[in-house]
Amino acid sequence: MSSLGRAVLLAAVLLTLAVSAGTAAAAAPLPAPVPTPTGKTVTLAVEEVAGKLKFVGPETVAEGDQLEVVDKTDPQRVGPVTFSLVRRGYLPKTRRAQGICFTPGHICWSIAEWQGVHGEGVPTINPAEAGAPGWDTMGTKTVPGDSWYSGTERGARFAQEVTAKAGTRLWFMDAIHPWLRGTIKVVAPAPA
């Protein structure tokens, strides 16, 4: 083979390798960009208001903020709570749905499974993380979401970064008290 023939063959092989590498790189999923921490902490509390448990907090949180969930109740009296991100359609809306929520095939049971509960035990996975680190993934009966269990000590709290993208509406509930639920809108961080 002439030197010109070898050069053409070498160029063809290199071109094939380059195209193959580029195709493989293009096919590989890129990791989601991690939001820049804002340095701000937003608090969402579980409180007893006029004899009823409520989530009390702002309507919005910025992508990159720390979202701190604080249990301000007396867990020895009302029991522990969870802060569990769930897709809106899985929130139990009726008294009947709330009454059967903690049975197999329903969202409260699923939340317990996300947290490693076996039978009547306590969570062995706390917090339960799904998706990227931070608050970002709403679960269903078959797909885990992010969840935190307060335990039985008064004043329990847990904070982590909101990694859901701006424009996302996060729906959340308490698996132990299934009528206790809320929503918070993720907004873009304020310019520095």
Average pLDDT of span 57-86: 97
**Residue 146 falls inside a structural domain:** yes
**Residue 2 falls inside a structural domain:** no
**Residue 176 falls inside a structural domain:** yes
**Residue 168 falls inside a structural domain:** yes
> How does residue 21 score in pLDDT terms, banded at 50, 70 and 90?
very low
Please state, as a whole number, how many other Cβ atoms lie within 10 Å of the Cβ of residue 8: 12
Between CA 134 and CA 160 the distance in angstroms is 5
The single residue listed with the structure tokens 């309507």 is 59
- Backbone phi and psi for residue 169, each to the nearest 5 degrees, phi listed first: -105, 120
Between CA 114 and CA 127 the distance in angstroms is 9
Q: Express each pLDDT in 27-69 by its tens digit.
A: 555 555 677 898 999 999 999 999 999 999 999 999 999 999 9
Lowest mean pLDDT among 5-14, 63-72, 157-166, 172-181: 5-14
> pLDDT at residue 18 above 80?
no
**Residue 116 falls inside a structural domain:** yes
The DSSP string of 48-80 is: EETTEEEEE--SEEETT-EEEEEE-S-HHHH--
Q: Express each pLDDT in 107-165 by its tens digit.
A: 999 999 999 998 888 999 999 999 999 999 999 999 999 999 999 999 999 999 999 99
CATH of the domain at 169: 2.60.40.420
